[in-house]
Amino acid sequence: MTRTKQWPIMVTLAVALVALVVNIPLIGALLTSFKPDGAITSHPLSIPVPGTLQHYANVLYAAGYDFPLFFENSAIIAFGTVVLTTLISVPAAYAIVRLKLGGQWLLNAVAAMRLLPAMFFVLPFFVMLTNVGLLDTVWGMIVVDTFLNLPIAMVILARGVADVPIEIEEAARMDGASSYGILVTMIVPLLAPSIAAAALITFLFTWNDYIFAIIITTSAARTVTVGVSQFVTSYGILWGDVSAGVVLSVIIPIVFAIFGQRYLVSGLASGSVKG
């Protein structure tokens, strides 16, 4: 806000320090990914100049894994999940919070699904997707990830809807607008920041899913996260290759976050609605 003008550069330094600390694992990955194997085990603090690109080559093609396919799968699964989750949760959040569908019972039930440890669903999802022929397909993963992320999206959007001033809606009703019209023309625009926030979090959590990607996919729908874990071998971890894989795996989420940041930061908790 307006109040604090003292020492803005100190704020920059303080925030940069925090950013540095929380990103130590990524910084470690970045440094390690350019080091030859010998340097990884002997010089933890060295700066890799000149660096090797061998680890990136291993990840992308040299080790015999089809990473372009893994990236394609991860992207399709993450975007598909975001679209499906958004289409389901925006109208439902409005119906529950504003149209009082079932009191809060439905929202409670959806939120509670996130409390069940993932292992509960491993066998049931495997059986279900096998029977409908969706095992090892991106569609199967989209269904599973939508299921897993609906509780989060619903909670964020329910919060967002609750913050939309009810007066606006009442005025529109007096003018004869239908619930659908209100949702589309008034709620959704005001809710945009919350939708962006829910979408980003859904995207990240889907991109980062591991246990279900292991169980549901075999080869055709394999994702980046599972692909990188292939460098955790029977005998030890290929530090350089895993590091390169980690660096590559965050590029798409970072791009997504940079584009989404404007919406996101202006409204995770709901809010373009001021006063």
Partner 1 sequence: MNGFDFSMRASRTIAAAGVLGAVAFSVTPSVADAQTTVRMVLWPGPEGDAMQKVVRAYNNGQGKTDGISVDMVLLSRDDTFAKETTEIATRSSNVDIYFTATYNIGFFAQGLEPIDDIGIDKSKYFSAAIKGLTIDGKLYGVPLDVSNHFLYYRTDLVNRLLKDESWKKSYRDIARKVLGEARDPKKPSEWTADDYLATAAFFSRSENPDSPTRYGTALQAKTSPFNITLWDDLLWGLGGSWTGKDGKAALTSDAAHKAMSIYRTIYEKHYTSPDASQWEYGETNAALQSGSAAFAMQWSAAYADLTSKDKSPQIYDKIAVAPEPGDPHRTHVHTLAISLNKQSRHKDAARKWMAYLATPKAMTAYAQAGGIPSQPAVLKDNVKSNAAFAKIAENVRKYGYSLPTFTGTFQAMQSITEDLSSAWVGVDATDDALSKANDKLQSLLDR
Partner 2 sequence: MGAVSAEGFPMPMRQSATSARWVLSAPLLVFLAVFAVFPLALGTWISLTDRSILSFSINFVGLKNYADTLRDPDFWHAVFFTLKFTLISTFATLVLGFLLALLVHRRFPGKTLLVTALIMPIMVAPALMGIMFRLVLNAEIGLVPAILDRFGIAIHLFSPHLVVPLLILLEILQWTPFTFLILYAGLQALPDDVFEAAALDGSSPLRTTFMITIPLMVPSFFVAGFLRAVDALRTFDVIFVLTGGGPGSLTNTLSIYIYKKAFTEGNFGLATAAAMLVLLMVVPLIPFLIRRVTTRVGDVP
> Which spans of this chain sit near partner 1 (rule: CB under 8 A)?
36-38, 41-42, 64-66, 69, 73, 122-123, 126-127, 130-139, 214-215, 218-221, 226, 229-237
Nearest to 168 by CA among 68, 69, 24, 272: 272
Helix (H, G, I), strand (E, B) or coil at 232: strand
Residue 50 near which of partner 2, partner 1, none (CB within 5-8 Å, type-dependent): none
User: How would DSSP label each residue in 101-162?
Assistant: TTTTHHHHHHHHHTTS-THHHHHHHHHHHHHTT-TTSHHHHHHHHHHHHHHHHHHHHHHHHH
User: Does 25 interact with partner 2 (rule: CB under 8 A)?
Assistant: yes
Nearer to partner 1, 69 or 273 (CB): 69
Pick one of 125, 141, 190, 199: the residue that binds partner 2 (CB under 8 A): 125
Residue 185 near which of partner 1, partner 2, none (CB within 5-8 Å, type-dependent): none
CA distance 267 to 108: 23
The interface with partner 2 within residues 81-100 (CB under 8 A) comprises 87-89, 91-92, 94-100
Interhelix angle 67-97/188-207, rounded to 10 degrees, is 140
User: Does 261 interact with partner 2 (rule: CB under 8 A)?
Assistant: yes
Nearer to partner 1, 39 or 188 (CB): 39
Pick one of 9, 38, 49, 167: the residue that binds partner 2 (CB under 8 A): 9
Nearer to partner 1, 37 or 163 (CB): 37
Alpha helix ranges (H) inside 208-270? 211-216, 224-229, 239-265
User: Does 47 interact with partner 2 (rule: CB under 8 A)?
Assistant: no
